[in-house]
Amino acid sequence: MKIGLAQINPIVGDLPGNVDKIIAWSQEASRQGADLVVFPELCVTGYPPLDLLDSPTFIDAVEAALDDLARGLPSEIGVIVGAPIRNPEKVGKRLFNAALLFEGGELRAVVRKRLLPTYDVFDEHRYFEAGTSSPVIDFRGLRLGLHVCEDMWNNQEQAEHFLYEDNPIDLLADKGVDLFVNISASPFSVGKHAQRNNVIGESCREHGVPFLLVNTVGANTEIIFDGDSRVHASDGHRIMCAPSFEEAMLFWDTEDTAARCSRTHTDIADLHDALILGLRDYYQKTGAFSNALVGLSGGIDSAVTCALAVAALGAENVTGITLPSRYSSGGSVSDSEALAANLGIAFHHVPIVPAVDAFEEMLADLFSGTEEGIAEENIQARARGMTLMAVSNKFGHLLLTTGNKSEMSVGYATLYGDMNGGLAVLSDVYKTQVYDLANYINEAAGQTLIPQSTIDKPPSAELRPDQKDADSLPPYDVLDDILRRYIEEHLEVEEIGLATGYPTALVLKILNMVDRSEYKRRQAPPGLRVSPKAFGMGRRLPIVMRWLRQRSDVALANEKAQ
Closest C-alpha to 321, from 412, 395, 375: 395
Residue type, 152: M
* Element at 238 (helix H, strand E): strand 238-241
Catalytic residue among 21, 103, 124, 149, which?
A: 149
- What is the rounded distance in angstroms from the CA atom of residue 184 to the CA atom of residue 80? 12
Query: In angstroms, what CA-CA distances link 347 with 333, 340, 389, 400, 543?
Result: 11, 6, 16, 15, 39
- What is the rounded distance in angstroms from the CA atom of residue 412 to the CA atom of residue 414? 7
Task: Characterize the bridge pairing of strands 248-253 and 423-424.
Answer: unpaired
What does the buried/exposed string (b/e) look like for 314-349 if buried means 16 or more CB atoms within 10 Å of the residue's CB? eeebbbbbbbbbebbeebbbebbbbbbebbebebee
- What is the rounded distance in angstroms from the CA atom of residue 141 to the CA atom of residue 323? 67
Closest C-alpha to 85, from 51, 116, 60, 122: 60
Q: What phi, psi does 2 have (nearest 5°)?
A: -100, 125
175 is catalytic: no
In DSSP terms, 240 is beta-bridged to: 231
511 SS3 class: helix
- What is the rounded distance in angstroms from the CA atom of residue 519 to the CA atom of residue 496? 25
Catalytic residue among 21, 43, 113, 222, which?
A: 113
Q: What phi, psi does 118 have (nearest 5°)?
A: -135, 30
Closest C-alpha to 137, from 234, 38, 242: 38
285 is catalytic: no
- Give the torsion sign (CA, 474, 476, 480, 483): positive
| Cβ pair 223, 187 in contact under 8 A | yes
113 is catalytic: yes
Strand arrangement, sheet containing 142-148 = 137-139, 142-148, 179-184, 211-215, 230-232, 238-241
Task: Characterize the bridge pairing of strands 230-232 and 211-215.
Answer: antiparallel
Q: What phi, psi does 4 have (nearest 5°)?
A: -100, 135
* DSSP classification of residue 492: -
In DSSP terms, 181 is beta-bridged to: 146, 212
- What is the rounded distance in angstroms from the CA atom of residue 536 to the CA atom of residue 515? 14
Q: What are the catalytic residues?
A: 41, 113, 149
